[in-house]
């Protein structure tokens, strides 16, 4: 079978794109270099409540509900923000559910197969298949091969490390730990029933500090009697923090759409990217099917949709992140006021000095 749309990556963005493009009538092949997409899990597994309205994969993988966010500044008492509702999911089950939906929609799926390059004439070879797709969707994560080939790599990445620990009492909030030591990132404790994901992210040049910082946070929570000492499921990964790239480009004659982390849609402050991956993947899949059917303005419409949906919130997050990082670059350390300005739960975050109130950004779902 020849292929209209080749999708690289079967995470939330790629699987959502595959389902949407196949539903719209395109001949779709989606490939992932992993034998089992979504495994091993590299995620803290929180999604906003609104994502359940976009995909039934949330309900099919739900572990527990989240009612609020609790933010600890330094060693201070937590500040509870009630309107951060969401769901803790089993990320492996979530990704598998999205792949099932893509297959049910009629997409062809190949796992254990990587894309390494695209020939100058637009020919693509994956495993034993040679094809000339009209459109390639790069849904291949933070270090996207498709983005690199199109000259659209992510501008900045953060590094994260995470363990899973026993949770000694039930908890209904995502806990966030901010401190000047955690350069360009934060610590988190996200409950999932009787255990919790405990992690930490920082800028790449501080990656050597990830392990000791996470051990310190773990020891502090053990002393407080909140979590047990056993650590399982060590994981980590890279998180785009530079804002949107692309999302439209070309590799020779092949039109390219980027989606999810490949398009830099992960929130540069929180690192959350699952919801944006699902939504951008769906939009990219629909646009690619239109392009394959000869609607040439579908790529521009896709770019416009993403800029409308994510431009303001990503722009604000990038500016607040840059302001925070400038305090380190100037040889200092951020004060508590600096840290508050750079965290979404505090009202100071929205007081963006560089923008008029009319352009103030709201967080999309
Ligand atoms: C430690 C950590 C914790 C996180 N916690 C959260 C959280 O709690 N909530 C949240 O919303 N977000 C979280 N994120 C971010 C979230 O995981 C990503 O935003 C999300 O996975 C993006 O989905 P995606 O489909 O764009 O990319 P991915 O999920 O990265 O999927 C990309 C896929 O492409 C495949 N691939 C890559 N290169 C190739 C290639 N050349 N050929 C074929 N296949 C390829 C990969 O194998 C992978 O399966 C976290 C990230 C990290 C690292």
What's the chain's length in residues?
365
Can you give the pLDDT at residue 360? 43
Contact call for residues 154 and 144 (beta carbons, < 8 A):
yes
Can you give the pLDDT at residue 363? 57
Can you give the pLDDT at residue 357? 44
Can you give the pLDDT at residue 288? 98
What's the rounded mean pLDDT across residues 217-228?
A: 97
Can you give the pLDDT at residue 359? 42
Asked if residue 353 has pLDDT above 80, the reply is: no
Can you give the pLDDT at residue 163? 98
What's the rounded mean pLDDT across residues 300-312?
A: 97
Atom 30 of ligand 1, residue of closest alpha carbon: 141
pLDDT band (50, 70, 90) for residue 83: confident
Name which of 67-76, 161-170, 175-184, 353-362 the model is least confident about: 353-362
Q: Is the dihedral of CA 58, 59, 60, 64 positive or negative?
A: positive
pLDDT band (50, 70, 90) for residue 354: low
Contacts of 292 (CB under 8 A, 6+ apart): 4, 5, 21, 26, 27, 134, 135
What's the rounded mean pLDDT across residues 46-61?
A: 98
Can you give the pLDDT at residue 358? 40
What's the rounded mean pLDDT across residues 261-275?
A: 97
Can you give the pLDDT at residue 362? 52
What's the rounded mean pLDDT across residues 271-284?
A: 98
Measured from the Cα of 238, ligand 1's closest atom is 53
Can you give the pLDDT at residue 296? 85
What is the spatial distance between Cα 351 and Cα 348, in angstroms, rounded to a whole number? Answer: 5
The pair of three-digit structure tokens given for residue 217, joined into one six-digit string? 């946070």
Can you give the pLDDT at residue 355? 57
Ligand 1: lining residues by beta carbon, under 6 Å: 8-14, 31-34, 37, 42-47, 114-115, 139-141, 145, 160, 162, 199, 236-237, 239, 260-262, 266, 271-274, 277
Measured from the Cα of 16, ligand 1's closest atom is 25
Report how far ligand 1's centroid is from the alpha carbon of 142 (Å).
Answer: 7
pLDDT band (50, 70, 90) for residue 1: low
Q: Which percentage of the chain shows pLDDT scores above 70?
A: 96
Report how far ligand 1's centroid is from the alpha carbon of 289 (Å).
Answer: 23
The pair of three-digit structure tokens given for residue 47, joined into one six-digit string? 């999604």
Asked if residue 344 has pLDDT above 80, the reply is: yes
pLDDT digits (tens, 9 = 90+) for 95-119: 999 999 999 999 999 999 999 999 9
Report how far ligand 1's centroid is from the alpha carbon of 273 (Å).
Answer: 8
Domains located in the chain, CATH noted: 5-62+86-156+241-316 (3.50.50.60)
């Amino acid at each position: 079978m020849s292929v209209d749309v080749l999708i690289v990556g079967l995470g939330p963005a790629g699987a959502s794109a595959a389902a949407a493009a196949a539903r719209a009538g395109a001949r779709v092949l989606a490939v992932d270099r992993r034998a089992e997409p979504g495994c091993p899990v590299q995620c803290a597994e929180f999604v906003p409540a609104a994502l359940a309205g976009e995909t039934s994969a949330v309900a099919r993988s739900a572990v527990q509900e989240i009612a609020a966010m609790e933010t600890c500044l330094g060693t201070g008492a937590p500040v509870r923000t009630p309107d951060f509702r969401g769901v803790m999911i089993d990320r492996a089950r979530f990704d598998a559910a999205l792949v099932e939906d893509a297959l049910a929609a009629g997409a062809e799926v190949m796992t254990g197969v990587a894309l390494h390059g695209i020939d100058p004439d637009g020919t693509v070879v994956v495993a034993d298949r040679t094809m000339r797709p009209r459109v390639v969707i790069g849904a291949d994560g933070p270090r996207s091969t498709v983005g690199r080939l199109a000259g659209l790599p992510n501008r900045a990445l953060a590094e994260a490390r995470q363990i899973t620990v026993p949770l000694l009492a039930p908890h209904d909030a995502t806990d966030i730990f901010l401190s000047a030591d955690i350069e360009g990132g934060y610590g988190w404790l996200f409950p999932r029933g009787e255990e919790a994901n405990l992690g930490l992210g920082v800028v790449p040049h501080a990656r050597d500090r990830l392990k000791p910082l996470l051990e310190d946070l773990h020891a502090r929570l053990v002393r407080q009697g909140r979590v047990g000492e056993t650590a399982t499921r060590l994981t980590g990964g890279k998180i785009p923090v530079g804002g949107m790239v692309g999302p439209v480009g070309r590799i020779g004659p092949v039109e390219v759409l980027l989606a999810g982390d490949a398009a830099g849609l992960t929130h540069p402050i929180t690192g959350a990217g699952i919801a944006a991956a699902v939504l951008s993947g769906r939009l990219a899949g629909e646009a690619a099917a239109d392009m394959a059917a000869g609607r040439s303005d579908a790529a521009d419409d896709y770019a416009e949709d993403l800029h409308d949906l994510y431009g303001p919130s990503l722009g604000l997050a990038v500016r607040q992140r840059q302001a925070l990082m400038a305090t380190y670059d100037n040889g200092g350390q951020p004060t508590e006021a600096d840290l508050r300005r750079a965290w979404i739960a505090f009202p100071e975050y929205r007081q963006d000095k560089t923008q008029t109130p009319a352009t103030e950004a709201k967080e999309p779902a």
